[in-house]
Chain A
Amino acid sequence: GDSVTQMEGPVTLSEEAFLTINCTYTATGYPSLFWYVQYPGEGLQLLLKATKADDKGSNKGFEATYRKETTSFHLEKGSVQVSDSAVYFCALFDRGSTLGRLYFGRGTQLTVWP
C-alpha cells in the first residue's frame, strides 16, 4: 500500500543554518508528492509539490526534488529563519488510484532559534 516515512524530530537549528528533512515513500501507482506546513495555531497549508520524477518543487526558499530511484522527496532550505518554526509534513497522492486521499508522514517539528 501507499505510505510515507518521515524523519523524526524535533529538529532545532540556529537562524541561517541549513535544513534537511528526509522523506521516503512507498506507492503502488503514480504518486504526486507534497510538503505541507503547519504553523502554530494555524491549519495545514501546502508548501510545495512535485508531480513527476525529477521535478523540483520550491516555495519560500524551500526546495524538494522528486527522486524516483531512491523513492525520496527530501525538504531543504539553505538558510532558515525563526519564522520557519513549524511542523512539516511530507505527503503522497496516488494519481493512479481511484481513492481520493492524501497519505501523510508523522510530521517533523522544526524550531529555529535567533
Chain B
Amino acid sequence: DTGVSQDPRHKITKRGQNVTFRCDPISEHNRLYWYRQTLGQGPEFLTYFQNEAQLEKSRLLSDRFSAERPKGSFSTLEIQRTEQGDSAMYLCASSSWVDTGELFFGEGSRLTVL
C-alpha cells in the first residue's frame, strides 16, 4: 500500500471559481478525515467519514464546502465560489475502524485563490 494520496498537489484558481480535491485513503481504512492548515497554524478539522457516512462537520465548513465519499473509498472535497480566505493546505487522513486518534496523512493539496 502506498499510503494516502491526494490530487492535485497544487491548485491555483481565481476568486469565484470552483475547485475539487480528491483523496484516496489507505485501502483497508474505513475512516477518512479532511483538515485545513493555514500558514503558521496547526491542522483544523473540517469533516469526517466512516465508510460512506459523513458523521461530523466542523463549523469551518461553510455552505460553499461539500465533501463526499460515495462508495466508502475515495473522497472529494469541493469548494464553490472560492474566496481568498480559502487559500490553505487541505489535508486528508485515514485510519482504521479502531478509534485511537492515530491518523495517516496525505501530503496535502495546496490551494491558492487569486
Contact = CB atoms under 8 A, between A and B. Distances in A.
Interface stretch (B69-77, B78-86, B100-108): B100-108
B41 A102 contact: no
Interface string B86-111: 00000101000001111111111000
A107 B89 CA distance: 15
Nearest to A38: B105
Interface of B: 4, 31, 33, 40-45, 48, 50, 55-56, 58, 91, 93, 99-108
28 contacts: A4-B42, A6-B42, A34-B102, A42-B107, A43-B4, A43-B91, A43-B108, A44-B91, A44-B103, A44-B105, A45-B104, A46-B104, A49-B101, A51-B100, A91-B42, A91-B101, A99-B48, A99-B56, A100-B31, A100-B50, A100-B55, A101-B33, A101-B48, A101-B56, A104-B43, A107-B40, A107-B41, A107-B42
Given A93-B100, A107-B42, 13 more contacts: A32-B100, A41-B107, A43-B4, A43-B107, A44-B103, A51-B100, A100-B48, A100-B55, A100-B99, A101-B56, A102-B43, A102-B101, A106-B41
